[in-house]
Amino acid sequence: MKCKYCKHKFPNSKFESCPECGREIENQQKKRLSKKLYIAIPLIILLLGVPIAYFILNNNKQMDLVDPMEKVQSFKETVINEDSEALVELLTPYENSFEINREDAMELISFFQENPEYYNTILNSLEDKATAYSSEEEPVSTKSHATITLLKNEEDKDYDLVVIPAFIDILTSDTEIDLLINNKVVDTIVDKGTHRETYGPYMPGIYEVKAKFDNNYVSTEQTNQVTLFNLDTDSTKLEFNLDIGMIQIVSTFEDEATLFINERETDFIINKGTQSIGPFPLNENISIHLEKKMPWETVVSEPLIIDSSELEYNFSKTPAISKEEEEKIINVINNVFLTYTDSVNARDASVLEDNVSDIMVEKVNETISHVESHIPDYEGTLLSTQYKVNWYQDPLYDNELEAYKLKMDVMLHYYEPNGHLGRIFEGENPHEYLRGATVELLFDEDIQQWLVYDYEFSHFFTYEDDIIYEFN
């Protein structure tokens, strides 16, 4: 050891002072130690400074991020306060794949209010993720669809409430139908064949999905309610079958007849023969019938019911003259021949019924001339008429006369004591004669009445079921 002051060397022992100059040895050692410390301290600071700086910088970074639990609390308050505007600002669409407006936000709030179990599931999940982030742990990743999750946004030093949507996948073979989701038309199917399409994206919620057919005459629809919440896949699948199809109509009714559906007139014109019409829902028990408007009345077919068990429907011939119209025609004929007889008895054609043609006036004048020349004492009484109503055919249009004409057979039963005007059969009593006449009628559209256009005597038989009209 060497004394700092006198440079005297001495063994390294526990001397308190220099044997040569007497200066203290202890002070000299402390000063030497201090010099070493001057070198060691910066090294220690450097070694400790790196982790401390890292800790400080990292801590500052963490302090810049928003507290994730505050974000969850904000979400909770917007739902409780029904603040749709604030909820729009709070929510982030997944990968900006759709937009969220106030209507969407309000529907989401209503969904949570009406389904508190779903709301609590979302809230618990968000709180778990917020706790994990606060503890600098990686939260469990979200694999569900139609849900809301909490994700760290490093760029904005924030946490985002991200809405992960879901889709609705629809399959149908129907045509000419509308697809609606929450009463909004999302598609109209016009092409035949199988249709499959995915619609969305949609936020968590309960959705009413509807397939609707409406052709102004008949409508049908099917409705499904789907819940989009925490789905394992990105879509839910629906299938619709309204059983829409075409039908075959085989008609012997009338040409240019109008089809009625459930008593409502349609634009479908049905001719005699076979034709395909539609589409219609085949499982709704729809009533169909045909109508043909004639100048004197409307002819109506028997109704048929459409159901899925049949695809062909037959309309049979319906008489163009109804029983009510038939009665009107018979009354016209009866009145004409009653006044015809009165005209002959009076030798005055003006007595004849008005519902006659000029041909009938000529015939009554010819009969009067015959009576005056050959049977001057003639006097006749029309006792009864008998009609073969089961044998006449529908009226036919006469292009020359521009009117419909109808022929009907009637047996005229006369009492003629002073000579007769002809006979086919004799009656049961003296001076009674039966003469058959084929009466030709014409419908005058101007006055909307049937006229007796002409007649001719003819030979035919009547039967017990033929209607008899007796006169006093």
Tens-place pLDDT, residues 261-275: 999 999 999 999 999
Give, in order, the Cα–Cα distances in Å from 398 to each of 329, 402, 441. Answer: 18, 5, 12
Rounding to the nearest 10 degrees, give the CA dihedral for residues 38, 40, 43, 49: -80
**Residue in the structure block whose two tokens are 């009406």:** 114
**pLDDT digits 0-9 by tens, 175-214:** 999 999 999 999 999 988 999 999 999 999 999 999 999 9
Residue 79 confidence (pLDDT): 96
Quote the mean pLDDT of the chain.
89
CA 280/CA 359 separation, integer angstroms: 53
Contact 65, 157 (CB under 8 A): yes
Q: How far apart are the first and last CA of the chain?
A: 176
The Cα 379–Cα 341 span in angstroms is: 9
pLDDT at 327: 97
The Cα 368–Cα 278 span in angstroms is 62
| CA distance readout (Å), 60 to 31, 57, 63, 64, 157 | 42, 5, 5, 6, 12
Please give the Cα distance from 188 to 170 (Å, whole number).
12
Segment 21-33 shows an average pLDDT of: 55
Averaged pLDDT for residues 377-401: 95
Mean pLDDT confidence for 81-95: 96
Name which of 49-58, 280-289, 381-390 the model is least confident about.
Answer: 49-58
What is the average per-residue pLDDT within 55-63? 45
Task: Give the pLDDT score at 19.
Answer: 62
The single-letter code of the amino acid at 178 is: D
Pick from 119, 134, 111: nearest CA to 75: 119
CA 98 vs. chain centroid, Å, equals 28
The confidence score (pLDDT) of residue 8 equals: 59
Strand partners, 147: 164
CA 141/CA 414 separation, integer angstroms:
109
pLDDT band at 26 (very low <50, low <70, confident <90, very high): low
pLDDT band at 164 (very low <50, low <70, confident <90, very high): very high
DSSP 133-176: HHTT-PPPPP--BSEEEEEEETTTTEEEEEEE-EEEEEEE---S
63 Rama class: left (phi>0) / alpha (psi -120 to 50) / beta = alpha
What pLDDT score does 16 carry?
A: 66
Across the range 369-394, mean pLDDT stands at 95
Of 56-65, 236-245, 422-431, least confident by mean pLDDT is: 56-65
pLDDT value of position 62 = 44
d(CA 441, CA 406): 5
Beta strand pairing call for 403-415 and 396-398: antiparallel
246-255 tens-digit pLDDT: 999 999 999 9
pLDDT, one tens digit per residue, over 310-350 is: 889 999 999 999 999 999 999 999 999 999 999 999 999 99
Q: What is the pTM of this model?
A: 0.67
- Which residues are CB-neighbours of 184 under 8 A, at least 6 positions away? none
- Predicted confidence at residue 354, as pLDDT, reads 87
**pLDDT-based confidence at 66, cuts 50/70/90?**
confident
Say yes or no to pLDDT of 97 above 50: yes
Q: State yes or no: pLDDT of 64 exceeds 60.
A: no
